[in-house]
A and B are shown apart, each in its own frame.
Chain A
Amino acid sequence: MLESILKRASVGNVTVALPAGDLPSPFRGMPEVGEAFRTGGAAATCAKACATDAIDPEKRTIDLGRCVFCGLCEEACGGEGIRFSQNPRLPWGKRENLVLGGSDVSLAPASADLRSLLGRSLHLREVSAGGCNGCDLEAQALGNPIFDLQRFGIDFVASPRHADGLLVTGPVSKNMREALVKTYEAIAEPRIVIAIGACAASGGIFRGSYAVEDGVGNVLPVDLFIPGCPPHPLTLLYAILGFLGRSPEKIPRG
């Protein structure tokens, strides 16, 4: 007993304050697009290196809903076309908000009604639907003392009856489709659906397999997509708080 009290005292507060700034190198966060990608030949080079067809060399866009942040495009173009920064704040919102083109990033917060209903208290039921468990682990990490999601009035609950919404990971395997839909239907309206990770946005690395639905959007109406493979817990925090209309800059340390 004494050891645990002493340990607790010696560790102190470990919760991360927001905004948390950049993560250490070589973290692959928000991609930065160079001139060679916008106008030169780098778009084609990067598209060729991409294993998930996230890059459209004609429109010169990067679809973060497909990107698995492997860094192969950056390696292929020598960082001239695409360079991954260490910033964990990624675009979020509707599916189209995840497509990067030009220099502007647009986001899609919840409607004013939803924000007033759920902005200060949001309870989510998590469903893992065919993913690799990477996104589940990062969603789980939100509850640890470092990220401490509960300080924002957001929590994961065991029953969909107690939930305001769903947080879904994975491409939606055909074997999970029914359970996912039933869980959704068990949540009282109004309800939101958050789809996290490349698989949930597009099928990710599993896109086109006979056994998956290529993303949550093909099964349920999704309110919030968050990219990543898996998204860093900070990426999730920024996106969920932003969606609820809460600026991380104005949130005190936990």
Chain B
Amino acid sequence: MRCVHTFDLGNSAPLAEEAFRAFLRETSTGADRLLTLFAEEPSPGRFLLHAVAGGAAPGRFLYACVETSPRSFRTFTDVCPGTHWFEREIYDLFGLMPEGHPELNPLRFHEAWPKKFFPLRSTDAPAPDPRRGYRFLVVRGEGIHEVAVGPVHAGIIEPGHFRFSCAGETIQNLEIRLGYQHKGIESLFPGGPEMGKILLSESISGDTAVGHSTACVRLLEAITAKPADPSAERWRAVALEIERISNHCGDLGGLSTDIGYLFGAAHFGRLRGAALNLLLRITGNRFGRGLNRIGGIGPRVPGIAPEDLMAELGRLRAEMKDVGTTLLDAPSVGVRMEGTGRLLPHTAKTLQFVGLTARASGRDVDARRDFPSPAYVDSPPVNVLLDAGDVMARARVRFLEMRASFDWLSGILAGAMPPGTIAAEGVVPAAGRRLVVSVEEGWRGEIVHAAVVDGEKRITRYKVVDPSFRNWPALSFAVQKNVISDFPVCNKSFNLSYSGTDL
């Protein structure tokens, strides 16, 4: 299977620091991209950093690891800026200090936590240095003032803190402080590969329950050697595309709200509901919870016949096309969204942003093509790529991706049921330490789950990467030199998950 890969850790000796550094540099400049970087403590006081990259060809996964001292390691941000937040996270969870890191602020823990609390580090390991406190970047200059927003925002939305430094109305710097939603998810995954882990993955980010649970279930299926049959894989992909449609649609409604275009807000709000109701018809839940079971899909999935689903999708598609065209062609919409919140292609490439954020800024990454699951192997949905990088580009990518998803759905639902069963690829052999990696393109971008598994097939370390974690810095870049009153529409154009980031 090209979306899941198993590495034998017994055969992968840690690299020398320079070689590991070169591996990460290559993800910044070469055709393979960084998928995940995380720490692990295989035995008390011994620390490894695992990095997985790939994507230059379908199903290509590369792996490297390095051993660090129990205290610190030299930062990799100088050769691979995309490791920036990964290193902050490693510091928070393990107390391993990335020396020379440009902005080592805590990502997970606020002032109320003990300064020596590092949840994934064993107490047997040598005591780490106390965590340093949070320091906001201070912008100096005549007339510079700060605006602090959050953690509780106006509106029904997750918590986060935004600190703007402005000259007049113009944003000079936006600092994003997160961690409010931190619930220790990764600490709850170790143990046997059971159904409870799937339920947990459904709650990594509630709006991406299908994406995360599908990444998680394939990983658990690789561990337990119970692959799903092609029909189950087809329904997973169908649910994933409807999840994409519902969220893209909701975001176009949210963008409409933020520019005061009430027609778009009302209709896209309604149509998003219709898409969620289709997920309910398939899985029994509006967000697709209950879709996945280890080795297949839920016994009551799908609750709707393919031909009925196709008819519903046809109606939805026609309406979305109407409303979307009206929205994107309206001059009053264009004037607010064009040129607003530009994320330059160079920034998107350097910081290795993913998903629709990247594809609106000319960075061509899509896990459905690069790490295709069985249902996407032959023909993934048409790739959408724009390069303007502004709010309008991100709106258009959503609109065009919805169209591509509708096209793909009508193809796969009309096609014959895929025959036979698939081989149990990526199966973890009985003995020895393994690293299993699973990738899926959620609606925001690529979701990466990785698990270190011991000889008894028990998970000892579980790492989740939500695309939001990769993309949050994009917002800071996009709003620079914009007026602060455009911040809501810029923020909504990314619509990143706080929960998926804070874990």
Q: With an 8 A cutoff between CB atoms, is B299 at the interface?
A: yes
Docked complex Cα distance between A134 and B210 (Å): 12
Interface residues on A, range: 35 or more
Q: Which residues of A contact B185 (CB under 8 A)?
A: 206, 209
Q: Are A26 and B283 in contact (CB under 8 A)?
A: yes
From B194-202, B362-370, B423-431, give the one contacting chain A.
B194-202
Q: Are B181 and A173 in contact (CB under 8 A)?
A: yes
Q: Are B270 and A7 in contact (CB under 8 A)?
A: no
Q: Which residues of B contact A129 (CB under 8 A)?
A: 159
Docked complex Cα distance between A189 and B209 (Å): 38
Interface residues on B, range: 35 or more
Question: Which of B119, B205, B286, B300 interacts with A132 by CB under 8 Å?
Answer: B205
Q: Which residues of B contact A178 (CB under 8 A)?
A: 112
Contact with A along B184-204 (1 / 0, CB 8 A): 110110000011100110111
Q: Which residues of B contact A230 (CB under 8 A)?
A: 206, 287
Question: Which of A25, A205, A208, A210 interacts with B203 by CB under 8 Å?
Answer: A205
Q: Are B499 and A28 in contact (CB under 8 A)?
A: no
Q: With an 8 A cutoff between CB atoms, is A183 at the interface?
A: yes
B199 to chain A, nearest CB (A): 5
Q: Which residues of B contact A14 (CB under 8 A)?
A: 270
B89 to chain A, nearest CB (A): 14
Docked complex Cα distance between A84 and B269 (Å): 28
Docked complex Cα distance between A211 and B109 (Å): 9
Q: With an 8 A cutoff between CB atoms, is B377 at the interface?
A: no
Q: With an 8 A cutoff between CB atoms, is B290 at the interface?
A: yes
Q: Are A7 and B157 in contact (CB under 8 A)?
A: no
Docked complex Cα distance between A140 and B300 (Å): 28
Question: Which of B152, B156, B202 interacts with A183 by CB under 8 Å?
Answer: B152
Docked complex Cα distance between A215 and B181 (Å): 14
User: Would A128 and B181 be within 8 Å (CB), given that A24-B280, A136-B157, A204-B203 are in contact?
Assistant: yes
Q: Are B151 and A176 in contact (CB under 8 A)?
A: yes
Q: With an 8 A cutoff between CB atoms, is A111 at the interface?
A: no
Q: With an 8 A cutoff between CB atoms, is A137 at the interface?
A: yes
User: Would A209 and B499 be within 8 Å (CB), given that A28-B290, A128-B157 are in contact?
Assistant: no
Q: With an 8 A cutoff between CB atoms, is A9 at the interface?
A: no
Docked complex Cα distance between A68 and B203 (Å): 10
Q: Which residues of A contact B158 (CB under 8 A)?
A: 128, 131, 133, 136
Q: Which residues of B contact A72 (CB under 8 A)?
A: 195
Residue from the set A139, A175, A179 with the largest chain B CB neighbour count within 10 Å:
A175
Question: Which of B110, B322, B499 interacts with A131 by CB under 8 Å?
Answer: B499
Q: With an 8 A cutoff between CB atoms, is A3 at the interface?
A: yes
User: Would A26 and B203 be within 8 Å (CB), given that A136-B156, A175-B182 are in contact?
Assistant: no
B208 to chain A, nearest CB (A): 9
Name the interface residues of A7-65: CB closer than 8 Å to any CB of B: 7-8, 11, 14, 23-28, 51-52
A87 to chain B, nearest CB (A): 13
Q: Which residues of B contact A70 (CB under 8 A)?
A: 195, 199, 289-290
Q: Are A26 and B284 in contact (CB under 8 A)?
A: yes
Name the interface residues of B195-238: CB closer than 8 Å to any CB of A: 195-196, 199-200, 202-207, 209
Smallest Cβ-Cβ distance to A146: which chain B residue: B273
Q: Which residues of A contact B196 (CB under 8 A)?
A: 51, 205
Q: With an 8 A cutoff between CB atoms, is B266 at the interface?
A: yes
A33 to chain B, nearest CB (A): 19
Smallest Cβ-Cβ distance to B276: which chain A residue: A141
Residues of A within 8 A of B (CB): 3-4, 7-8, 11, 14, 23-28, 51-52, 68-72, 75, 84, 125-141, 143-146, 156, 158-159, 170-171, 173-179, 183, 199, 204-206, 208-212, 229-230, 232
For the complex with contacts A11-B270, A175-B109, 4 further pairs of A-B residues with Cβ separation under 8 Å are A136-B157, A179-B151, A210-B184, A232-B286
